[in-house]
Amino acid sequence: MSIDNQFIHNISAQLDQFKKKNKGVYNFRCPYCGDSQKYKNKARGYFFTSKNDLVYKCHNCGIGRSFGVFLKEQFPLIHDQYVMEKYKAGLTGKHRNVSKPKFDFEKPTFKRTVNLEPLSSLNNSHQALDYVMGRGLPLDKLDQLYYCPNFKEWTNTHKKTFNSIKNDEARIIIPLNDKTGNLMGFQGRALDPKNPMRYITVMLEKDAPKIYGLDKLNESKPIYIVEGPFDSLFLENSVAMAGSDLDPRSFGWSDYIWVYDNEPRNREIVERIDKTIGRGDKVVIWPRGIYDKDINDMFNSGHEVKSVVESNVYAGLEAKLQLNNWKKI
């Protein structure tokens, strides 16, 4: 059975009054015009062969179609199968009445990941683990940080950044992921406290925001915006500004609170807090009696960070008054 005859057979049950008249000729009621409205048994639609091609013609409305176009207009799903069968038989394309099928394959996307050993898997004597333990970082968050023994070499496998990998060094990798967990960039934190380049930030996507923690957020809860990635590990549902300015409105967040470092003598921080209040945003103003510079240090001094933060959130005029008192400390 030819491909055309096979597909005529496939659709015959769906064509009203369908019957085979003689070899290569089929008759049924026209699906375009509905055929005679007066005589329900009258059928004036025909399949027949013309110049070696199967065609359709209605002797009521006069419409004419190739068999392929008829299928496309009346039975689009079956038409796709028909085109594929014609293609497999080499009967599509130039000088054929059936065009080649369109193969619309979505380009596969691959999620970038860190592909390094997380700090949580290192043994207790490891230098990287010794460093974060010395900082007092939460043990249940160490699977979010990674150890890189050769930072320059590893960085160049993601993005050509260093012309030379001489004097390479080990660093802790802080991944900057988007909401889906795709790696947008990363920070490398030096293990040597005397290293003048404590942090090196490398972005893999040009316009991606330099923010840590997007993939861990619950946007239905209040979001805390802190200054450093390590600080964010001590405060639930927080993100960190990885050395950049952040506009929360660009993410569509409805409830967010700024948490700056506790440095009332730092003019830049004071000005940033003042601008934050001026925009109408909520901000934490640290109370008297806390002298630690950041959340990490506060935790290590024994403060209940979550409670202190939640008790000192201000906005508007009250925030202005609290800022004026704080910067006098």
- From the list 286, 281, 322, 326, the residue with the least C-alpha distance to 307 is 286
Same domain, 213 and 321: yes
Task: Say yes or no: 227 and 204 in one domain.
Answer: no
pLDDT tens, N- to C-terminus, the chain (329 residues) = 688 989 999 999 999 999 999 888 999 999 999 998 888 889 999 999 988 889 999 999 999 999 999 999 999 889 888 888 888 887 765 556 566 666 565 666 667 889 999 999 999 899 999 999 999 999 999 999 999 999 999 999 999 999 999 999 999 999 999 999 999 999 999 998 888 899 999 999 888 889 999 999 999 999 999 999 999 999 999 999 887 777 888 898 989 999 999 999 999 999 999 999 999 999 999 999 999 999 999 999 999 999 999 999 999 999 999 999 998 87
Check: CB of residue 327 under 8 Å from CB of residue 288. Answer: no
CATH number at residue 57: 3.90.580
Q: Is 223 among the domain residues?
A: yes
**Which residue, among 300, 269, 275, has the nearest Cα to 286 in the 3D structure?**
269
- The verdict on residue 94 lying in a domain is no
Q: Residues 145, 169, 200, 261: is their CA dihedral positive or negative?
A: positive
Is residue 178 domain-shared with residue 222, that is, in the same domain?
no
Give me the domain span that covers residue 138: 109-208
Regarding pTM above 0.75, the answer is no
Q: Are 147 and 170 in contact (CB under 8 A)?
A: yes
User: What is the per-residue pLDDT across 130-176, written as a single tens digit (0 to 9) for each?
Assistant: 999 999 999 999 999 999 999 999 999 999 999 999 999 999 999 99
Do 215 and 313 belong to one domain?
yes
The number of folded domains in the chain is 3
Residue 102: inside a domain, yes or no?
Answer: no
For residue 99, is it within any domain?
no
Q: Which of 252, 240, 235, 254 is nearest to 312 (CA)?
A: 235
Domain end (from 178, 208, 238): 208
> In this structure, are residues 54 and 48 in contact, taking their beta carbons and an 8 Å threshold?
yes
Please provide the DSSP assignment of 47-91 as one string: EEEETTEEEEEETTT--EEEHHHHHHHH-HHHHHHHHHHHHHTT-
Whether residue 256 sits in one domain with residue 179: no
Same domain, 234 and 297: yes
Please report, to the nearest 10 degrees, the dihedral formed by the alpha carbons of residues 77, 82, 83, 85 taken in order.
Answer: 130
Instruction: Check the CA dihedral 316-318-319-323 and report its sign.
Output: positive
Q: Are 196 and 231 members of one domain?
A: no
Where would I find the H helices in 107-247? Answer: 127-135, 151-158, 229-232
